[in-house]
A = this chain, B = another copy of it.
Amino acid sequence: MTPLRIRVLLVDDHRMFRAGVRALLEGEPDLEVVGETGDGEGAIRLTAELRPGVVLMDLRLAGEGGGMDGVEATRRILTTTPGAAVVVLTSYGTEADVVRAMTAGARGYVLKAGAPDELFQAVRTAAGGGVGLAPDAAARVVSRLTNPEPVLTEREVEVIRLVARGLSNRAIATSLFLTEATIKTHLVRLYRKLGADNRVGAVSEAVRRGLVELH
């Protein structure tokens, strides 16, 4: 039998982490790292060029120029290279993160806090056409399906993001070409959905859920 190894592309903005994972994967006889990059653009390009069996993707890509995150990169990879298998490998696994990544078309989700074996298994599963979720991530997906937390509408997310930047209601209104009254209505609904009773608490909760990034 031919020793066909699974060809892996690493996408992570931490060079040190890439080097570590590379060394880790090289220890597995059936895995092979064929490339690595630190930003979304590189990921899209290298996936098209190298046609890796699996793309290992971090969600937070601190790309200086632009700021595409891992979910966006995953989406674009799947449009330019439809057959690609993307496995998310990231630090935090909030429900919002997992759901966003999986709906974007990821074929796996592994936490950096997990054991190396979880990563190996997820890579092999994804390369075989399956979907591999680490236990932690899987639990969150299940809990999300059984106990759906209120989802913010697009407009509400837009508003809470501006609130997070410290804008006043009036400033948000002019920024979105609306009235202050409308902003207040959105805020009241945001407070209810986020379980807060003022704007700071709402921002804090939104950040915790991964809906907003500060700065």
A residues within 8 Å of B by Cβ? 13-17, 19-24, 26-27, 38, 62, 89, 91, 110-116, 119, 163-166, 168, 196-205, 207-208, 214-215
Contacts and interface: CB of A to CB of B under 8 A. Distances in A.
A165 to B, nearest CB: 7
Contacts of A17: 17, 20, 112
Contacts of A201: 165-166
A152 B204 CA distance: 21
B166 A200 contact: yes
Number of copies: 2
Nearest to A163: B200
A208 B213 CA distance: 11
> Closest 8 CB pairs between A and B?
A20-B20, A166-B201, A23-B23, A14-B112, A16-B112, A19-B116, A166-B200, A208-B215
Given A19-B20, A198-B168, A113 B13 contact: yes
A91 B112 CA distance: 13
Given A166-B200, A166-B204, A203-B204, 18 more contacts: A14-B112, A14-B113, A15-B112, A15-B115, A16-B21, A16-B24, A16-B113, A16-B115, A17-B20, A17-B112, A19-B24, A19-B115, A23-B23, A23-B24, A23-B26, A163-B200, A203-B203, A204-B215
Contacts of A166: 196-198, 200-202, 204
21 contacts: A14-B91, A16-B21, A16-B111, A16-B114, A16-B115, A16-B116, A16-B119, A17-B17, A17-B20, A20-B20, A23-B27, A62-B113, A166-B196, A166-B197, A168-B198, A200-B203, A203-B204, A204-B214, A204-B215, A207-B215, A208-B214
A17 B24 CA distance: 10
Contacts of A27: 23
A173 B215 CA distance: 28
Nearest to A13: B113
